[in-house]
Amino acid sequence: MAKRDFYDILGVNRDAADEDIKKAYRKLAMKYHPDRNPDNPRAEEHFKEVKEAYEILSEPDKRAAYDQYGHAGVDPQAGMGAAGPGGFSDAFGGIFDEIFGGRRGGGGRSNVYRGADLRYNLEISLEQAAFGTETKIRIPTMEVCEACHGSGAKAGTQPKTCPTCQGSGQVRLQQGFFSIQQTCPKCHGTGRYIADPCGACHGAGRVKQHKTLAVKIPAGVDEGDRIRLSGEGEHGINGGPAGDLYVQIHLKSHAVFQREQNDLHCEMPISFTTAALGGEIDIPTLDGAAKIRVPAETQSGKVFRLRGKGIKGVRSNAHGDLLCHVVVETPVHLTERQKELLRELEDSSRDNAGHHNPRAKSWMDRVRDFFAAT
């Protein structure tokens, strides 16, 4: 089946800026991540497709090769890739050598590649984000096969020199006047082949395993922050260095607080009586309770700020604030006596409604002026 266009996979135009490509990748990676779609096998396929597209389009050289030659320009097997075996230089290097008499470095390719970077989505509570914590995560990874020690060959045997390229990893094809040099189709540029592959890894030299890591979460992390664990990604190929593991932070929703950068917001319901007469109420904070003095005649929407009761960010020198948003709660399930008292209150203030309810009077005046104008 033909590969889809990388730009179509990410849903961006061919002239998209690097930042737009990065944003599109992050959005789709979150959407199709296998951890978020455990019951959807197609999600993992989409995730791999998105990851491959981003790896090509995020690298200027690879993107340029893809723009010019399509998938053949970045496919190691196609002999025209911008990176890895079968690169652009391999496909046409022989031509320039023959014409200009250039000299290329001899010998086979080592094909030593750095291991892939991995990402792990970690969900933590607001309290853990505020104060920091240490947790353990279990991740799948490709480790060096213990049976063959990474050679890919069955125990007691060794990979053999490729008979097609004689170990050089490259072959030359004579096409009339031109001599074209390209990656060996038998060994794919390694200069060797495995006649009797290892039964544990089937010749890959690596096997899929799980490992448990301790992750230290610094105090003040926020949604989307990443923690890098150097060398904890996949092992490299043919002795290459391991990739890195990026732990991406996601915050669970909180029952009381909403976070906005280093500030916290909460809703503060107060009774009708407290709003009218004033009083003192207890407010929860991340490090205990605090008291707020509510002045008389407080209206819904008023915000009380408790300085320093927010979160101290990772890159901040001071704590944020806690902002408490007042909501005056209308009493419910009233008895007949309570209803009667409220009616008496209404009747007693009717003659001077503008004094007791200035906001309502101002609104009614604006409504009256509106209709008079129309």
User: Annotated binding residues for Zn(2+), as ranges?
Assistant: 145, 148, 162, 165, 184, 187, 198, 201
Query: Euclidean distance between the first and final Cα of the chain, in Å?
Result: 68
* Angle of CA points 67, 69, 71, to nearest 5°: 90
What is the Cα–Cα distance from 53 to 27, expressed in whole angstroms? 13
Close Cβ partners of 55 (under 8 Å, ≥ 6 residues apart): 62
d(CA 268, CA 287) in angstroms, rounded, equals 17
For the sheet containing 226-229, what is the strand order? 118-124, 245-251, 226-229
The CA R_g of the chain, rounded to the nearest whole Å, is 33
Establish how many alpha carbons lie within 13 A of residue 359's alpha carbon, considering only the half-sphere containing its beta carbon.
Answer: 4
- Per the CB < 8 A criterion, the answer to whether 122 and 247 are in contact is yes
What φ, ψ does residue 122 adopt, rounded to 5°?
-115, 125
Q: Which residues are annotated as a binding site?
A: 145, 148, 162, 165, 184, 187, 198, 201
Contact in structure between 189 and 165 (CB atoms under 8 Å): no
Asked if 270 and 320 count as a contact pair (C-beta separation under 8 A), the reply is no
Strands (E), the chain: 118-124, 133-144, 160-161, 170-175, 178-183, 192-193, 206-217, 226-229, 245-251, 257-260, 263-271, 279-285, 288-294, 303-306, 322-329
